[in-house]
Amino acid sequence: MALFSNADIPTDFPFRDQLAERASCRDGGSAIAGPDGEWIASPVSGEERLVIADADPAVIREERHNFDPIGHHAPSGTPH
């Protein structure tokens, strides 16, 4: 079941050809990932569904505190 087809992409859309080639963009795939990277709501494919979740601000703050985007806590010799 496709949630949209190539016919739904306007002919004057700049990336129409590239978008039409991507089969994965047609099955929905709505999901919610938690601040730790784990699924709160796994991807939903092949159907229309509203995906919602409650977020605990304390958990979000804790995960942001643990996030090390440039590797300060990487072992010595590991490229940053």
Three-state SS for 37? coil
**Per-residue pLDDT at 79:** 56
CA distance 12 to 17: 10
Contacts of 70 (CB under 8 A, 6+ apart): 80
Mean pLDDT by 10 residues, the chain (80 residues): 72 84 65 87 84 87 77 61
Domain ranges (residues) in the chain: 6-66
Whole-structure pTM value: 0.49
